[in-house]
Amino acid sequence: MQLLAYPRESTALDGEWQAIPDQYEMFRDYFDDFVEDEDGDSAALPDEDGQPALSFESIYEPSASGDDDITDFNIYDGYSMRVPSSWGEEMPEFRHFEGWMWFARTFDRDEIEEDDRTFLRFGAVNYKAEVWLNGERLGEHEGGYTPFTFEITDHLQDGENALVVRVDNKRYEDGIPNESTDWFNFGGINRSVELVSVPESYVRNFKVETTLSDDAVDVDVSAWIDGGATADAATAEIPELGVESELSSAGDDRLTATFSLSASDVDLWSPSNPKLYTVRVEYDGDAVEDRVGFREVSAGGGEVRVNGESIALRGIALHEEVAGKGRALGIDDVRTRFQWINELGCNFARLAHYPHTEEMARTADEEGILLWEEVPAYWDINFGDEEIQELYRQQLRELIQRDWNRASVALWSIANETDHNDETRNEVLPQMADYVRDLDDTRLVTAACFVDETDDGLVLNDPLEEHLDVVGVNEYFGWYYGDADDMKHFRDDPEGTPIVISETGGGAKWGNHGTEEDRWTEEFQAAIYRDQTEAAAATEQIAGISPWILFDFRAPMRQNEYQRGYNRKGVVDQHGRKKQAFHVLREFYESGRLE
């Protein structure tokens, strides 16, 4: 169960760390060879006066690089590297480095507001991490975009503590994503690192679910308590509504309570009214609060609904990237992309292709922007491999348990452009859709799929459709194939599974002008947006669109003269300069033609 850390006081470990590249992946074995003693345990090798001259532990000791030390590196005397950061943006010499990078820093126990138990939390490390504290191995994590924690209560020592993280950002054929993607592989401790201290028994996480009926709003609160059951019950409170209730055991690992409220007393969350309430859960002296919007999402008959009202999803897709910062966004960067999203007139955004920083969903809650969130099960994943399936579930679980109180999150997407003719994929992905619903059945499950061109026109022919609440369709008519208005030939089924055009668009280099026939010009891209948006407006089964993409982003396979390492399908370039297509989309949304 993810630790709900955001609302808690914590000790930030962000700032200057030491980092050393280990491109040949030798430093670990190097010390293993030197330190294996006769019974094979890691031990220090004595020097002439019997003191440890060199040991595996020595790379964890700040004194490791004594003058007479023969070690070839000391991770306490490496390159100064800010955390969080993407190392290739932080240090140009590492711009294309893919491999092992050893990070280290020390902290003093007195810096921690220490309670009974202390956890070390990483917001995200791309792609694998292995962590030691004071020479003790805490564990490892795989997945570049979701948070993970280790309990360090029994590893803390008085005074100085030495933290070491081995980051590996190589791309793996059995990874999620695997080694082939259309985005840049920014290695690093890309999000914040913090120490969270809690009582012996504490509220690990809690989840708020809203169910609407004619004149009532039921707010269900489930809480997960970690540590010995020291108190009879937990309590949940919604102070603004003046209600409080004890939570009782649900017969599994949860404590639950339901607030049955009069609809007239509750201000429901919606994009037009992003009302948030403080929900507070207490257990035996421990208390944690979160800001939650009460709303219900549903889908069917070609519609997506919020609180029972059909809503047209006026969206845009975006990666998590900032020129010069990679994936290590600050709150100002989050606010900038919401300025563009609001300027476009959006009420919806697709956070592609992996979990973005949790600040995005928290800001979307405040701004009234519905979100599509996803894990990077992208292109040719080997879905039949059981270890990959376990990693898949792990990443889904880490995302959902992080953001399940975010009213803005309306859709969980389980995959992007996977082969709908692959039997294994068609067996495994429905299982993943079920797994998502086991974790959270209050949101819509989707995936970005393809349409097929047939003699009858364009048809949705993906067996996954029946397992989805909403089908995402990635189509590039007018760019990769066909004409931009070909979607008008889509076999529209107004009563069918609602469709979101989860990708459409084309490339343009900002400032490159010509006619609408000249590929890579702003005029060519703008013409695609005009035709594609009109086609979407004309198709009843299309409940929304999130054109690809808000801003140009780094993509190693995009190397022609207009791209030079960037995917240029943004309606804004990487410097924030708007292209003509930005205004075409903005005018379309303002016109109200998408309904």
Q: Which residues bind ligand GCU (CB under 6 A)?
A: 182, 353, 416-417, 474, 503, 548, 567, 569
Q: Please give the helix or strand (H or E) that residue 125 lies within, else none.
A: none
Nearest to residue 147, comparing CAs of 354, 377, 416? 354
Task: Please tell me the distance from the alpha carbon of residue 370 to that of residue 294, in angstroms, as a whole number.
Answer: 13
Nearest approach in angstroms of CB 183 to ligand GCU is 7
Nearest approach in angstroms of CB 548 to ligand GCU is 6
In this complex, which beta carbon is closest to ligand GCU, that of residue 126 or of residue 161?
Answer: 126
Q: Which two tokens stand for residue 478?
A: 């007018």
In this complex, which beta carbon is closest to ligand GCU, that of residue 73 or of residue 379?
Answer: 379
What residue number has its CB nearest to ligand GCU? 182
Nearest approach in angstroms of CB 547 to ligand GCU is 11
In this complex, which beta carbon is closest to ligand GCU, that of residue 271 or of residue 547?
Answer: 547
Task: Please tell me the distance from the alpha carbon of residue 594 to that of residue 303, in angstroms, as a whole number.
Answer: 12
In this complex, which beta carbon is closest to ligand GCU, that of residue 64 or of residue 318?
Answer: 318
Nearest approach in angstroms of CB 361 to ligand GCU is 21
In this complex, which beta carbon is closest to ligand GCU, that of residue 31 or of residue 553?
Answer: 553
In this complex, which beta carbon is closest to ligand GCU, that of residue 182 or of residue 220?
Answer: 182
Nearest approach in angstroms of CB 417 to ligand GCU is 5
In this complex, which beta carbon is closest to ligand GCU, that of residue 162 or of residue 318?
Answer: 318
CA distances from 137 to 95, 131, 163, 235 (A): 29, 6, 10, 37
Task: Please tell me the distance from the alpha carbon of residue 463 to that of residue 425, in angstroms, as a whole number.
Answer: 10
Nearest approach in angstroms of CB 378 to ligand GCU is 7
DSSP designation for 294: -
**Which residue matches tokens 């009420």?**
347
In angstroms, the first-to-last Cα distance of the chain is 39
466: left (phi over 0), alpha (psi -120 to 50) or beta: alpha
Nearest approach in angstroms of CB 514 to ligand GCU is 21
In this complex, which beta carbon is closest to ligand GCU, that of residue 177 or of residue 302?
Answer: 177
Nearest approach in angstroms of CB 62 to ligand GCU is 43
Q: Residue 192 CA to chain centroid, in angstroms? A: 14
In this complex, which beta carbon is closest to ligand GCU, that of residue 353 or of residue 579?
Answer: 353
- 331-343 helix and 358-367 helix, angle to the nearest 10 degrees: 40
Task: Please tell me the distance from the alpha carbon of residue 180 to that of residue 209, in angstroms, as a whole number.
Answer: 37
In this complex, which beta carbon is closest to ligand GCU, that of residue 257 or of residue 352?
Answer: 352
CA angle at 334 for the pair 197 and 472, rounded to the nearest 5°: 105
Q: Which two tokens stand for residue 448?
A: 């970005």
With beta carbons less than 8 A apart as the criterion, state whether 468 and 374 touch.
no
Looking at the chain, the number of H-run helices and the number of E-run strands are: 8, 34
Nearest approach in angstroms of CB 392 to ligand GCU is 18
Q: What residue type is assigned to position 400 of the chain? A: I
**Which residue matches tokens 């220490």?**
114
With beta carbons less than 8 A apart as the criterion, state whether 451 and 458 touch.
yes
Nearest approach in angstroms of CB 473 to ligand GCU is 11
Residue 215: other Cβ atoms inside 10 A: 8
